[in-house]
Amino acid sequence: MDFIKPGINVDFVNRSRIALICSLVVALIGIGSLVIKGGPLYGIDFAGGTLVQVKFNQAPEVGEIRDALGGEGLGSSVIQSLGEDKVSIRLMSEEGQAETVSEDVFAIIQKRFGQDQVSLELVEMVGPQVGADMRRKGMLSILYAMVGILIYITLRFQFRFAMGAIAALVHDITITVGVFSLLDKEFTLSVIAALLTIIGYSLNDTIVVYDRIRENIRRTPKDKLASVVNTSINQTLSRTILTSGTTLLVVACLFVLGGEVIHDFSFALLVGVLVGTYSSIYIASPVLLLGGKGDAVARASVRQG
């Protein structure tokens, strides 16, 4: 489905320098926020805390439990339903406070829902060492994904294309994490999952444009690479807008209607889809033109194809 008329020729390449400057400014603002605040605001998953699991005779809505805890100053708790009758509650706490915290939480829930309606199933402490280990594994998962992408695109296209894709992914991750820092939103395991999803989404968009660039290089081998890149972006513009628009619609519904449990996940996706669509046009493709060897790249691509 093409809702943009054929033959459209928006000059994306000539505007890419301005876009790169804007991206650099936004990324630096995010990095500056991280430096000033001493890093991301880690959630319980990474900073450590107490996990309390309770069983209800008839489990109430998660929102009711959140309201009960919020009324006692525990509004930052992460509450998750574990089926029809069990609920897990995670709270920030210092090492050695697990018993006190769990007693306070259980007392609040008993007071709100009735002593005979709830029982304490499990209390666990997530220590700082466990949190640090999870942070390390989360960062490694993103790094491994980047390395895999670098190898895959190098084999499918060539190394210069892979560098463009990696530059776009680093751009997307940096800006998304920066937005979380600026808004003081917690960095949790669900946010790591969202970042990995963003990597996959952004890469898919970039591959579509790269494929079209390679096809056009074969079709018009004498054209300058800048012209080929611009034409390719315009030819895939309908697909890019439709895919991003429908994805944003779904993610926006998750953000508004999905509830507190997936709020940070859907917010990260909202930012990531927007930034990923932008970067596939203004970051990944223009990087191919850097270095002044565009035509040599074109010829190499034709040979590889």
pLDDT tens digits, 210-256: 889 889 888 887 888 888 888 999 888 888 888 889 999 999 998 88
262-281 burial by CB neighbour count: b if 16+ within 10 A, else e? bebbbbbbbbbbbbbbbbbb
Question: What's the rounded Cα separation, in Å, for the pair 283 and 166?
Answer: 10
pLDDT(122) > 70 = yes
Distance in angstroms (rounded) separating the CA atoms of residues 299 and 165: 20
Distance CA 286, CA 36 (A): 32
Name the β-bridge partners of 53: 88, 122
Q: What is the pLDDT of residue 158?
A: 81
Mean pLDDT of the chain: 83
For 33-82, the pLDDT digits (tens) are: 999 988 888 877 777 778 888 888 887 888 888 888 888 877 667 787 77
- pLDDT of 292 higher than 70: no
188: tokens are: 């949790």
Average pLDDT over residues 180-189: 86
Give residue for tokens 């691509």.
301
Confidence of residue 300 (pLDDT cuts 50, 70, 90): low
Residues paired with 118 in a beta bridge = 56
The predicted model gives 279-286 an average pLDDT of 86
- Reported as a single tens digit per residue, the pLDDT across 139-178 is 888 889 888 888 888 888 888 888 888 898 899 999 999 9
pLDDT at 105 over 90: no
| Helices 263-279, 189-219: inter-axial angle, 10-degree rounding | 20
Residues 6+ apart with CB under 8 A from 14: none
* pLDDT above 60 for 294: no
Token pair belonging to 127? 């220590």
Q: Is residue 16 a contact partner of residue 286, using CB atoms and an 8 Å limit?
A: yes
Q: Which of 222, 216, 171, 192 is nearest to 30 (CA)?
A: 171
Q: What pLDDT shows up at residue 64? A: 85
Residue-wise pLDDT for 190-202, tens only, equals: 888 888 888 888 8
Whether residue 3 is predicted with pLDDT greater than 70 in this model: the reply is no
For residues 46 and 138, what is the distance between their CA atoms, to the nearest angstrom?
9
User: Which of the residue ranges 16-25, 107-116, 129-138, 216-225 would you say has the lowest mean pLDDT?
Assistant: 129-138
Q: Is the pLDDT of residue 301 over 70?
A: no
- Residues, the chain: 305
> Tokens 């960095």 label which residue?
187
pLDDT at 26: 94
**Backbone angle region of 48, left / alpha / beta, with phi > 0 → left and psi within -120 to 50 → alpha:** left
Q: How many CA atoms lie within 13 A of 81 on its CB side?
A: 15
